[in-house]
Amino acid sequence: MNSCQAPCPTDVKQYNDHTNGVDRADQIRRELITYRTSKKWWHYLFWFTFDVAVANAFVLMRDSQSHRQMTKSHRTKPRTMLQFRIALSKQLIGQFQGMRKRKRISNKDGAGTSHWPSMSEKRGRCRQCSKAGKRREVKCRRSSCEVFFVC
């Protein structure tokens, strides 16, 4: 034995012999984790199970002969977990787009009157500033619905 080598402790050797790949599975699962913090215990359980299922699917896909990516020089190109998750999410979601369709804003309300600005004699709170948590009093308002706003 050289002076720079140390013998492996028996506990470490036994641990490595009996883990059966659990550390590798945790490493793959932790590469891109889905879990978000929550006060509900079952949220953690759900996301943990989801991550384990995705990690297992990634390992099966990576070892499958029919899912190999080839380069132009006919070498196998390894897939990353990120590539796998992007492809998986596209397959799960499909063509769904979660965005709402925006309605076209017209200058007329239901009664047919216009929403053009006009000056008021009294002051009122700006609706947009109120939504942002600021207090701002202005004299500009819409002529038909009398909503105050900053000109």
Domain ranges across the chain: 10-93, 113-151
pLDDT at 115: 64
Contact 149, 140 (CB under 8 A): yes
Q: Please tell me the distance from the alpha carbon of residue 51 to that of residue 43, in angstroms, as a whole number.
A: 12
pLDDT at 14: 84
Q: Please tell me the distance from the alpha carbon of residue 53 to that of residue 107, in angstroms, as a whole number.
A: 52
Residue 95 binned pLDDT confidence (cut-offs 50, 70, 90): confident
Out of 76-80, 85-89, 95-99, pick the least confident.
Answer: 95-99
17 alpha-carbon distance from chain centroid: 38
Task: Give the count of alpha carbons within 13 A of 87, CB side only.
Answer: 11
User: Reduced to 3 states, what is the DSSP secondary structure of residue 149?
Assistant: coil
**Inter-helix orientation angle 41-63/22-31, to 10°:** 100
User: 10-38: per-residue pLDDT in tens?
Assistant: 888 888 787 776 677 788 888 887 777 78
Longest C-alpha distance within the chain, in Å? Answer: 97
Q: Which two tokens stand for residue 31?
A: 């590469």
User: 62-71: per-residue pLDDT in tens?
Assistant: 888 888 888 8
pLDDT at 107: 54
Three-point CA angle 80, 44, 97, nearest 5°: 60
Residue 109 binned pLDDT confidence (cut-offs 50, 70, 90): low
Q: Which two tokens stand for residue 32?
A: 């891109």
pLDDT at 108: 57
Q: Please tell me the distance from the alpha carbon of residue 130 to that of residue 137, in angstroms, as a whole number.
A: 10
Q: What's the average model confidence in pLDDT over 106-120?
A: 63
User: Reduced to 3 states, what is the DSSP secondary structure of residue 98?
Assistant: coil
- Which helix or strand (DSSP H or E) is residue 112 part of? none
Bridge partners of 77, per DSSP, are 69
